[in-house]
Amino acid sequence: MSLALIETGHCNVDLKPSPIEPSWIIEGNPQARSHLLSTSACGTATTLIWSCTEGKFNWYYDLDETIMILEGSMVIESDGMPPKRYGVGDVVFFREGAHAKWHIEKYVKKVAFLRQTNPAGLGYAIRAINKLKRMSSVLGGRRSG
């Protein structure tokens, strides 16, 4: 089965319960919900919409995650990083292995881009292959032009 080359989605979708690990909850009863928007062909990257109600909790990142806040706000703190409030339009990147304390004051909704990281050696090989592909397409373009 082949995947569509272009997929579309919307931020106003029905979100399904996506409970926070109970041992991570510090305070309150935060209720998280999410909806998967897309998955890469190789399965190593996903995009989702996620929301959460008021509460405080820890979050441990086992992948790279970039978020953009769509609604509401929250305060995030981590070792070596004082508490800071993030709101609509803010973008935050969490590296695999990061730990953050989240404080959702009322409600937050975000779009999240999640990506599995590759071992360093594989990352170098992928960059080298991509560079060769770019070089060959440039050279190929010159020959045909």
pTM (2 d.p.): 0.78
Question: pLDDT of 4-52, one tens digit each?
Answer: 777 777 778 889 999 999 999 999 999 999 999 998 888 889 999 999 9
Contacts of range 116-121, beta carbons closer than 8 Å, 24 or more positions apart: 116/44, 116/45, 116/63, 116/64, 117/63, 117/64
Mean pLDDT across the chain: 88
Residue ranges of domains in the chain, CATH in brackets: 16-118 (2.60.120.10)
Smallest CA-to-CA distance from 83 within 45, 111, 56 is with 56
User: How far apart, in whole angstroms, are the C-alpha atoms of residue 20 and residue 5?
Assistant: 33
- Give the pLDDT band (50/70/90) at residue 108: very high
Do strands 32-39 and 16-17 pair parallel, antiparallel, or not at all (unpaired)?
A: antiparallel
